[in-house]
């Protein structure tokens, strides 16, 4: 019990140190206009890591990822599939807001990548949900369009990676909502299969 407590305490301290490194980072041009460095939401250790593109205006203002309309849609879908805040860790390819909500440039994603790698190693997920074409491209280094790869599992080095649509895209084109719903269902089933979450009782 004491050992678990010490371990949790170490993990929290390690993560807090990582967050402070991120907050000081000025490695790319996105540092110039940010209000906040947007690092994470959810649990510091989680079986599921959800990765989006970059912070939008509300995320930049609050310093928390996926708190705008896209985040609300995502939360609704996660809740519907009984994936709780304790079960996931949400972050983005870049931690500072690209101006005008444009996609991050390759050099910005590249500069931010060591932080994402460090975050990944702290969170230690087994399942990764990549939301949107930009997250897919920068995470996998593959330029294939998201419509071609969405919903298809990639198994790599013991990780299960699922590309899907970004909720912001689904809000613009509600016909895609069912695809995102199906992909989150697939993530939930995978977490159960891997015995990382209990089976869903339907």
Based on CB atoms, which residue is closest to ligand SF4, 21 or 171?
A: 21
What are the tokens at 126?
């087994």
In the block, tokens 């299969």 appear at: 193
Residues 109-148 contacting ligand SF4, CB under 6 A: 111-112, 115
Listed residue (116, 128, 92, 139) closest to 18, CA to CA:
116
Sequence-ordered strand ranges (E) for the chain: 41-42, 48-52, 88-92, 127-131, 154-156, 159-164
Question: Contact, 63 vs 161, CB < 8 A?
Answer: no
Q: Does 41 bind ligand SF4 (CB under 6 A)?
A: no
* Selected binder of ligand SF4 within 18, 30, 83, 132 (CB under 6 A): 30
Which of 15, 18, 25, 68 binds ligand SF4 (CB under 6 A)? It is 25
Measured CA to CA in angstroms, residue 91 lies from 3, 4, 5, 61, 130 at distances of 29, 26, 26, 15, 10
Q: Does position 27 bind ligand SF4 by CB under 6 A?
A: yes
CB of 11 to ligand SF4, least distance (A): 21
Scanning 1-9, 25-33, 41-49, 164-172 for contacts with ligand SF4 by CB under 6 A, the matching segment is: 25-33
Residues that bind ligand SF4 (CB under 6 A): 22, 25-28, 30-31, 37, 94-96, 108, 111-112, 115
């Amino acid at each position: 019990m004491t050992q678990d407590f010490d371990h949790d305490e170490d993990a929290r301290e390690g993560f807090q140190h990582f967050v402070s490194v991120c907050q000081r980072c000025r490695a790319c041009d996105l540092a110039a206009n940010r209000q906040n460095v947007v690092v994470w939401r959810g649990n510091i250790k989680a079986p599921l890591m959800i990765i989006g593109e970059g912070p939008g205006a509300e995320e930049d203002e609050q310093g928390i990822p996926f708190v705008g309309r896209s985040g609300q849609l995502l939360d609704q879908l996660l809740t519907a599939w009984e994936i709780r805040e304790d079960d996931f860790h949400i972050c983005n390819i870049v931690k500072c807001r690209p101006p005008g909500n444009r996609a991050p440039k390759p050099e910005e994603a590249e500069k931010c990548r060591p932080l994402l790698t460090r975050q990944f190693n702290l969170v230690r997920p087994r399942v990764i949900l990549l939301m949107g074409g930009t997250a897919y491209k920068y995470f996998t280094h593959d330029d294939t369009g998201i419509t071609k790869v969405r919903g298809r599992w990639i198994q790599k080095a013991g990780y299960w990676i699922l590309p899907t649509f970004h909720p912001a895209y689904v809000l613009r084109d509600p016909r895609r909502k069912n695809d995102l719903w199906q992909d989150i269902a697939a993530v939930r089933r995978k977490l159960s299969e891997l015995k990382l979450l209990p089976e869903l009782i339907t």
